[in-house]
């Protein structure tokens, strides 16, 4: 079986399993107690904290263990904003942050704060200059992921941290996807991470708050974890999480080279094997084991099922796989094709043969999905004066783009096609199709129902 979704959750590392089983017998007692069992548990917890701090590159008393990466983000954002309330209530985030950061931003905005989203380029990266432009006198906190969870693009954390430092604004870095590969460089102020991303057990997150950063924990607090993560520590899981972090770090240099070669192979060969494919994300500044591409005229959910039947587990940012039928906010912010989206994130130790088998299976899977979707029904196409109108109301991705592709040749060069659609994905996918196919996207217009997307035939 080819498990290619390590960005969602990496398989439990063998070292984590060993550490978990060993610490179950030693780390069950309350580490706050002074008797023998409590002291033994405290020694395990302290040793794990020291090792985690060394891996992160911080002091042990700056790091606490939370119940998850998302909880670490929520606690970090809320605490930093509250600690700097006198400075103001303005928060800066990038448009491609993990949902935990964006949900924290929504909660802050709902409570009367203000939020600025910094856009990204087509590769998914922010411009440090844009962060500088977003800074205001009342900015309390800025957030930036170290690497994107959907397309793998690495962010210029060091440059953004310097811009924020000069303005006296702390920067929170979500390092969930990258911490297993190495420490985050730059003068960041707060950092969060999640153990299940690097092969540790789920339910363990890291929150680091540098000394000197104003921080006021929100909600009920107790004496545990510096008052920043209340509740009884899950010591066996924490020990296993830190043991696996040290283990994957020891393997990181060699595995990074190997996985980067495998993902480069996928990036290069998929467009040759499958027509009408867009490979997304920065081609150079990206995580070693992650590659994302989108396939025109493909239902993302159907493609994932087809690949699953062939023995491959992948994920997708396509709206076709979402109950909300809304494209991934990351792909939308990048302005790239969302339909038929596939994210391949390779786990440590993946066999080269599995990648080759995936490349052999993929063209057949895409072809099967496209054949099932078939051609558009003719009655959806009408002509109004010199404009060809395609009625795709009520039809979900990728049907609107399929119908556009089928009729573009029926209009003369310079002629217009007007696609009526009420599918949110069309707002992203029709312009992306135009760029891929060398046609001109004129724009979107209000329609009696849904939206009219106007395309001019150029070639």
Q: 10 Å Cβ neighbour count for 321?
A: 19
Sign of the torsion formed by the C-alpha atoms of 355, 361, 366 and 369: negative
The whole-angstrom separation of Cα 390 and Cα 452 is: 9
CA 442 to chain CA mean position, Å: 30
Which three-class secondary structure state does DSSP give residue 172?
Answer: strand
CA distance 338 to 238: 37
Q: Nearest-CA neighbor of 167 among 117, 119, 131?
A: 131
Beta bridge partners of 381: 390
Which residues partner with 293 through β-bridges? 279, 342
- H-helix segments, 135-200: 157-167
Q: Which three-class secondary structure state does DSSP give residue 278?
A: strand
Phi/psi of residue 208, each to 5°?
A: -115, 130
Token pair listed for 171: 């920067």
3 state SS of 211: coil
Token pair for residue 361?
């299976």
The tokens of 233 are what?
Answer: 């520590």
Q: Annotated catalytic residue: which of 143, 164, 320, 397?
A: 320
**CA-to-CA distance for 411 and 234, rounded, in angstroms?**
65
Query: CA 53 to CA 237: how far, in whole Å?
Result: 17
164 is catalytic: no
Rounded Cα distance, 272 and 51, in Å: 45
> Residue with structure tokens 């076709």?
320
Query: How far apart, in whole angstroms, are the C-alpha atoms of residue 345 and residue 133?
Result: 34
CA distances from 374 to 186, 299, 303 (A): 51, 12, 15
Residues labelled as active-site residues:
320
């Amino acid at each position: 079986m080819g498990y290619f979704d390590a960005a969602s959750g990496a398989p439990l590392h063998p070292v984590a399993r060993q550490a978990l089983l060993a610490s179950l017998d030693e780390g069950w007692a309350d580490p706050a107690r002074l008797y023998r069992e409590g002291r033994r548990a405290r020694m395990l917890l302290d040793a794990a904290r020291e090792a985690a701090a060394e891996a992160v590159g911080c002091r042990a008393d700056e790091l606490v263990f939370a119940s998850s990466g998302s909880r670490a983000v929520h606690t970090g954002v809320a605490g930093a904003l509250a600690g700097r309330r006198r400075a103001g209530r303005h928060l800066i985030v990038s448009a491609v942050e993990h949902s935990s950061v964006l949900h924290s931003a929504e909660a802050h905005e709902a409570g009367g704060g203000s939020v600025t989203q910094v856009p990204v380029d087509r590769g998914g990266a922010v411009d440090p200059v844009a962060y500088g432009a977003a800074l205001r006198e009342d900015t309390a906190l800025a957030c930036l992921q170290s690497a994107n969870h959907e397309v793998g693009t690495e962010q210029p954390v060091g440059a953004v941290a310097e811009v924020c430092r000069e303005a006296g604004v702390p920067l929170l870095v979500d390092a969930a996807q990258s911490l297993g590969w190495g420490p985050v460089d730059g003068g960041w102020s707060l950092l969060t991470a999640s153990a299940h991303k690097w092969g540790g057990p789920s339910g363990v997150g890291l929150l680091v708050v540098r000394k000197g950063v104003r921080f006021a924990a929100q909600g009920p607090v107790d004496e545990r974890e510096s008052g920043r993560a209340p509740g009884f520590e899950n010591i066996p899981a924490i020990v296993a999480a830190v043991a696996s972090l040290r283990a994957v770090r020891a393997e990181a240099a060699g595995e990074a080279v190997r996985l980067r070669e495998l993902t480069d192979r996928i990036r290069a060969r998929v467009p040759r094997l499958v027509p009408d494919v867009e490979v997304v994300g920065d081609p150079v500044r990206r995580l070693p084991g992650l590659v994302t591409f989108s396939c025109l005229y493909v239902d993302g959910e159907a493609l994932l099922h087809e690949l699953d039947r062939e023995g491959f587990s992948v994920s997708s940012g396509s709206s076709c796989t979402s109950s909300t039928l809304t494209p991934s906010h990351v792909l939308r912010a990048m302005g790239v094709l969302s339909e038929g989206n596939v994210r391949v994130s390779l786990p440590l130790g993946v066999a080269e043969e599995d990648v080759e088998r995936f490349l052999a299976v993929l063209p057949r899977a895409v072809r099967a999905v496209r054949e099932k979707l078939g051609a558009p029904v003719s009655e959806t196409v009408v002509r109004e004066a010199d404009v060809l109108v395609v009625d795709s109301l009520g039809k979900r991705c990728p049907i609107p783009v399929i119908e556009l592709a089928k009729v573009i040749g029926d209009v003369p060069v310079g002629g217009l096609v007007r696609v009526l659609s009420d599918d949110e994905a069309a707002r992203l996918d029709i312009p992306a199709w135009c760029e891929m196919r060398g046609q001109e996207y004129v724009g979107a217009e209000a329609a009696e129902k849904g939206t009219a997307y106007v395309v001019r035939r150029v070639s």
